[in-house]
Amino acid sequence: RDELLFKQPESSHHGDCPICCIPLSLDPRKATFFPCCSKVICNGCEYANLRREIEGSLQPKCLFCRLPRTALSQEIELNLMRRVEAKDPVATSKMGEIHYNEGDYDGALQCWEKAAELGNALAHFSLSMLYREGKGVKKDEKKMFFHLEEAAFDGFPAARYNLGVVEEEHGRMDRAVKHYIIGA
């Protein structure tokens, strides 16, 4: 497991833009999430599409699935729920985030566990934070560490940093430094 853990990931946990196939930035402000299809699209493609729609006096649509855009929070949540029911890991993780922000830690835990089973790195990272803080669950360092490692395998930089901190706290500086370097 250490051999995999200390290997430089091939890409970030965000993956590539499904339109232009360029790797998505680690900065979440440089991409747009579409709840209708749970796709994250780079702001360059989003800008080009918005410009095309404005110049052509076209109805605003999702760049990926072409569904009409909506600003109604009820409709956005309904679309997100449809994606969760379809076992979409991104939508399920996003729903966990909504539950967490509302203080529903049990709901967040359930969503993040499902999303983590589906391979979502953000869900693994979020679960690690729940187990570290003990919100809605009993504090558990082993589970925290497991979920941090799973997120790190998928190229999640914050998980790498947190693994470095944990290793440093346990006096394993050689391992901590490796995590810090890979996560940088």
The residue ranking higher by pLDDT, 112 or 34, is: 112
Which amino acid, one-letter code, is at 88?
D
Contact 115, 92 (CB under 8 A): yes
- Max mean pLDDT among 76-80, 131-135, 155-159 falls in 131-135
Convert the pLDDT of each residue in 91-133 to its tens digit: 999 999 999 999 999 999 999 999 999 999 999 999 999 999 9
Average pLDDT estimate for 64-84: 81
Burial label for 84, CB within 10 Å (0-12, 13-18, 19+), is: buried
Residue 146 pLDDT greater than 90, yes or no: yes
CA 57 to mean position of chain CA atoms: 34
Judge residue 69's burial from the number of C-beta atoms within 10 Å of its C-beta, 0-12 exposed, 13-18 middle, 19 or more buried: middle
Q: What number is the average pLDDT over the span 143-167?
A: 91
Sign of CA dihedral 90, 93, 95, 98: negative
Q: Where residue 10 falls among pLDDT bands split at 50, 70, 90?
A: low
pLDDT one-digit tens code per residue, 161-175 = 999 999 999 899 988
Give the separation between CA 55 and CA 73, rounded to whole angstroms.
27
Q: What does the pLDDT read at residue 72?
A: 64
Q: Which residues, in sequence order, are CB contacts of 35 under 8 Å at separation 6+? A: 76, 77, 79, 80, 83, 91, 94
**Tokens 């925290």 appear where?**
144
